[in-house]
Structure 1
Amino acid sequence: MVKTSVQAQVVEQNTIAGDVMQLAMVVPDIARIACPGQFVHIRVADTLEPLLRRPFSIADCNADRGILTIIYRIVGRGTALMAKLKPGDTIDCMGPLGNGFALTGQRPLLVGGGMGLAPLVMLARAFCSRTATVLMGGRNEQELFWPDIYAKICKNIHITTDDGSIGHRGFTVDLLPQLLEQGKFDIIYACGPYAMLKGVAQIAASHDIPCQVSLEEYMACGVGACLSCTCAGTSGKRHKVCTDGPVFWAGEVAW
């Protein structure tokens, strides 16, 4: 897998909702080869602390302009430092890393929960010439800012919230069987919390529909050397999420 480490220039950073930020950077060498589902590993500061890079899913990419976009939540010191970056600042960015989604579907269903919806934005855009349906879930209306982002890309959007403040009350896996019965989907792509992915994988298997999942794990090196992000596989071996994934066929993962 071709990857590079470069100094990326920040061109835009803004708050989407609460503690969720959107950062766009000029990084032509990465943007021209990035695929939906891949990620970048960013060194957020030129100091020894925090020492390790942070992995971020590629939310969107404009290869012609060389601009790559990430959407992230401020959860610790690293992301807090990154949230202070302004247009014109530079950050060390390595990527694209990992294996992306297989763009084989003609009638895809994208299922995302919480921040797991970030890597599905670029995937939805890749399917813009086909009929893509998105099923998204969040805790409440305040946290579910995603419809505004996805509405610019696709028309078929279904929403669930834990408290029912917007859309269907419940979880994405509660509504999924109903959608599968109504639609003729030929593949499911999913990203979100582990419990959600497990449920989606089980439902997809029961409907005999191929399913790919993007796993979210803490990563130290991002290149398969440290073994900090492994997951159990059905073959009996452990997969490195950073290099074998982060996208897997659901049947490869030992849930």
Structure 2
Amino acid sequence: MSTPETDETLDSIGTAGVKVLQRRGGYRFTLDAVLLAAFAAAEDPRQGPVLELGAGSGVVSFLLARQFGRGPIDALELQPAVHARLVRAVALNGLEGRVRPLLGDLREARTRVPPGAHALVVSNPPFRPADAGVRSPDEERALSKQELACDAASVVAAARHALEPGGSVSLVYPAARLAEVLGLLTAARLFPRALRLVHSRVDSPATRFLVHALRDSDRGLEVRPPLIVHGEGPGGYTHEVAALMDPPRSEQNPR
């Protein structure tokens, strides 16, 4: 759906009808954001302040607030234009007071976020190392996809700073970076507690992983059943993924 701003679209996602403003030619949110929100909510059902690092269009924050009843949520975003759309989308979703957009660099979290103030930190950060592949000529897409303004170590350090004792962090990364990210978390005493590998289809290799870690609490790692994206459910997804994506039909087309 187009918006009055010709370079933007207004999209809906999730069973709570979350609305997302995105630049038509910029970075677009992916299924990773939806899976991360559901995973974080399932692994840490406690209530308490949440911080999203690199919030982008706000998909994870909005889903956590509206679909999973979490909050209050601080949504930290680096890029001013992206942050401006995030601010507008908070109002579109009626989440004033529950989602607070913050403009800032997660590498400077010590000056932007109070120490130990959050029960949960989530992040769907840039996936590709800065020197991997061809850089997008679009600055917004480049910063969102490649580690040009932050890397995994920066994300982990920011999460460590923000988390209260016993707090938790949930991240999503490419499967190829599993050993690296688990090592960074453990070195920061954010001990991996739950791991779930994401597969496109039941017979395909993992493409992503979701990890949940606890601050200063090593309770052992549990490997969850694999998450399969595509299958025989609605829209060509598995029933688990389809159940996260769209409002029930009765809500889409009320009589």
TM range (shorter): 0.3 to 0.5
Higher helix share: 2
TM superposition score normalised by structure 1: 0.39
Higher strand share: 1
TM superposition score normalised by structure 2: 0.39
